[in-house]
Amino acid sequence: MTACLIGSLPTANAHATFLPKLDAGRDHKRRRVSRVFRYIVYGICIESEFPLTSVREAATDAFDRPIRLETRHAADLPGSAQTLPVCVDDWLRHAVLADGSVWIRNDEIFEMVVSPDGRHVTCAKLGEADDTSFEAALLNFAISISLTLQGEEPLHATVVELSGQAIGLLGASGAGKSTLAAALIAEGADLVTDDMLRLTFAGNEALAHRGPYRLKLYGEPARRLLPAAAEHGYFAKSHGKILVQPRPAVPAAASLRPLRALFSLGSATDQPSAKVAARRLTGMELGKTLIASAMDIRNYAPQRLARQLQFAEHVARAVPVYALTYPRDYAMLGRVAEDIRRTVGV
């Protein structure tokens, strides 16, 4: 995917698009809000003007440095400006405003602006997008950008829990992360997070934070692997997937799981007849795999690359990372799950 670039770019973010700052009058408008909804997801405190359905409300009002979610009309966001770039080869438009805020837009679902400190998200639902698809996008894109602006490096990963240990699946969209996660869940695992993994460290131990308790699956793998959950799932027209809750009981949002291993799936088209095998990554291959698994991939700031290298080094010290190859065949998923268990010893 190619980001849109216009104008003269400062060296601080050499590949970002810089746009005019939000109009001060509109930016500081505040509507009367009847209440504030508070949540904990990815180990982060969130305060929202509107209710979220995929996470449970927090039991306390004592929040430490929350991320604030606010809604606006689309006309009050930069997308209505004539100076914005039009990108024909990227489904998500991304730009950096003059004040350091990050603007993103998908013409069918949302438009959002994240403040320079990552603590404030202003968003609008677009077109005929349904609330569930809008919320899923918000908790993925806006929160990942917020974390990146705050100096963290969330990973594009789906994570399951096996015997109290978290197992992460890395890979680009379409690699099969969610399908393999569903196969592992069908054999007794449980979901930790889908699409985005936030890691924190206690010494040299990596800890995985729980995301929303929902898994996005295409219809066939949902019905094959998690038929009961699929029956009660929600079909999101925006991406043609079913959002399923793997089990009736939702785990506690604040619970952490030690990360035992990461498996990079690679491209499904590159290994149609591959044998089931896990190979531990080292050196440059390991670093490239972790950096390629970053969220907010349109942020090319030089200082971020230095941070990503440090993050990759920290992960490598704490967690083994494997390249996992296997044929994309439902009949083989049981063997893949067995090989993962054998590799990590659970």
Q: Are residues 133 and 113 in the same domain?
A: yes
The pLDDT value recorded for residue 217 is 92
Q: Is the pLDDT of residue 249 over 70?
A: yes
Q: Is the pLDDT of residue 80 over 80?
A: no
Of 95, 119, 149, the last residue of a domain is 149
Model pLDDT for residues 116-134, shown as the tens digit of each residue: 999 999 999 988 888 888 8
Q: What are phi and psi of 269, to 5 degrees?
A: -75, -20
Q: Would 239 be classed as within a structural domain?
A: yes
Distance CA 257, CA 238 (A): 31
3-state secondary structure of 233: coil
Q: Would 5 be classed as within a structural domain?
A: no
3-state secondary structure of 336: helix
The pLDDT value recorded for residue 129 is 84
pLDDT mean over 247-263 = 85
Q: What is the largest CA-CA distance in the chain?
A: 60
Q: Which of 81-95, 223-237, 311-325 has the highest mean pLDDT?
A: 311-325
Distance CA 132, CA 74 (A): 18
The pLDDT value recorded for residue 250 is 80
pLDDT mean over 108-121 = 93
Q: Are residues 70 and 127 in the same domain?
A: yes
Q: Would 109 be classed as within a structural domain?
A: yes
Of 149, 174, 191, the last residue of a domain is 149
The mean pLDDT of the chain is 82
Cα dihedral sign, 183-186-192-193: positive
Q: Are residues 173 and 310 in the same domain?
A: yes
pLDDT mean over 256-279 = 82
Q: Are residues 145 and 161 in the same domain?
A: no
The pLDDT value recorded for residue 316 is 92
**Crossing angle, helix 333-344 and helix 177-186, to 10 degrees?**
80
Q: Are residues 125 and 161 in the same domain?
A: no
Q: Are residues 163 and 122 in the same domain?
A: no
Q: Is the pTM of this model over 0.75?
A: yes
Q: Look up the domain containing 64 and give its range.
A: 11-149
Q: Is the pLDDT of residue 15 over 70?
A: no
The pLDDT value recorded for residue 20 is 40
The pLDDT value recorded for residue 62 is 58
Q: Are residues 15 and 95 in the same domain?
A: yes
Of 122, 149, 176, the last residue of a domain is 149
Q: Which residues pair with 196 in a beta bridge?
A: 156
Q: Is the pLDDT of residue 4 over 70?
A: no
Amino acid type, 14 = A
Q: Are residues 256 and 288 in the same domain?
A: yes
Lowest model confidence (mean pLDDT) among 14-18, 169-173, 217-221, 334-338:
14-18
Distance CA 271, CA 45 (A): 40
Q: Are residues 46 and 177 in the same domain?
A: no
Q: Would 3 be classed as within a structural domain?
A: no
Distance CA 229, CA 70 (A): 31
The pLDDT value recorded for residue 334 is 92
Model pLDDT for residues 173-210, shown as the tens digit of each residue: 888 899 999 999 999 999 999 999 999 999 889 999 99
DSSP state of 232: T
Q: Is the pLDDT of residue 32 over 60?
A: no
Q: Would 2 be classed as within a structural domain?
A: no
Angstrom CA distances, 98 to 20, 85, 246, 277, stand at 5, 15, 43, 48
Higher pLDDT, 282 or 28: 282
Q: Is the pLDDT of residue 81 over 60?
A: no
Residue 165 sits in a domain whose CATH number is 3.40.50.300
Q: Are residues 291 and 178 in the same domain?
A: yes
The pLDDT value recorded for residue 48 is 92
pLDDT mean over 82-108 = 74
Model pLDDT for residues 278-306, shown as the tens digit of each residue: 999 999 999 999 999 999 887 777 788 88
Beta strands in the chain (DSSP E): 18-19, 37-41, 44-48, 67-71, 93-97, 102-106, 110-114, 120-125, 155-162, 165-170, 190-193, 196-197, 199-202, 205-209, 215-217, 234-236, 241-244, 256-264, 277-280, 321-325
Number of structural domains (the chain) is: 2
For residue 226, give the nearest of 266, 254, 188, 252 by alpha carbon.
188
pLDDT mean over 200-224 = 92
Q: Is the pLDDT of residue 6 over 80?
A: no
Q: Are residues 225 and 304 in the same domain?
A: yes
Q: Are residues 299 and 250 in the same domain?
A: yes
Question: What is the token pair recorded at 219?
Answer: 């219809």
The pLDDT value recorded for residue 223 is 93
Q: Is the pLDDT of residue 5 over 50?
A: no
The pLDDT value recorded for residue 42 is 92
Distance CA 238, CA 124 (A): 16
